[in-house]
Amino acid sequence: MSGVSPTPQQLHNIKAHLDLVLLALEALTGLGSEAMLAAAESLQLSELLSDRVNLWRLRQASPLRKGQGRKKLDVDEARALVLVSCHLAAQHRDTIRQAVGRLEQALEQGHPPHRAAILGNYLDAFTNAYQERMEGDQSSTPDQLGPLALKLLVDLLFCSGQGGSRKLWGTLLDRSMLEQQG
């Protein structure tokens, strides 16, 4: 991953997007905190992601979360979450590829993506989790959240491949700079 350190404002934006990437991964694969902690252990990141409470606090650092905690995500913790996200995405690459393939097929045929079983299940799970966990978005409809969920699905495909953590970190930095400017 790049040696570039984000500014505090960029880190604020990175926290939000990282949580959304993990939310998308959970919605598609059904993974939970135990899988994330196991990935952290296998990547020798247990010092940064030691237990469920620590992981919850890091995820609650997202500015999008309901009742966001006071925990600030530091650069090392953000990088650890990137590594865990990409490790888990790589483990579930076949599922991610299948979902993206169905998305491409639906778009080519002019069909709504939610009609493909894997995408419908993913979109429902993502929407439900987003509405349950994110601040002020009880009124967000599946139509409003669908494009975000599908964009995150494509992001997961890039995360699952060779150099995924470098790509994700670069994307997070780029997006955070754009958000900071805009």
49 near 34, Cβ under 8 Å?
no
- C-alpha gyration radius of the chain: 16
- How far apart (Å, rounded) are the C-alpha atoms in residues 87 and 92? 9
Task: With cut-offs at 50, 70 and 90, classify the pLDDT of residue 134.
Answer: confident
Question: Encoding tokens for residue 129?
Answer: 């989790």
The gap between the terminal CA atoms of the chain, to the nearest Å, is 25
- Per residue in 23-61, pLDDT (tens digit) is 999 999 999 999 999 999 999 999 988 888 888 888 888
Model-level pTM greater than 0.75?
A: yes
Contact 160/86 with Cβ under 8 angstroms? yes
In 3D, which of 17, 1, 3 has the Cα closest to residue 177? 17
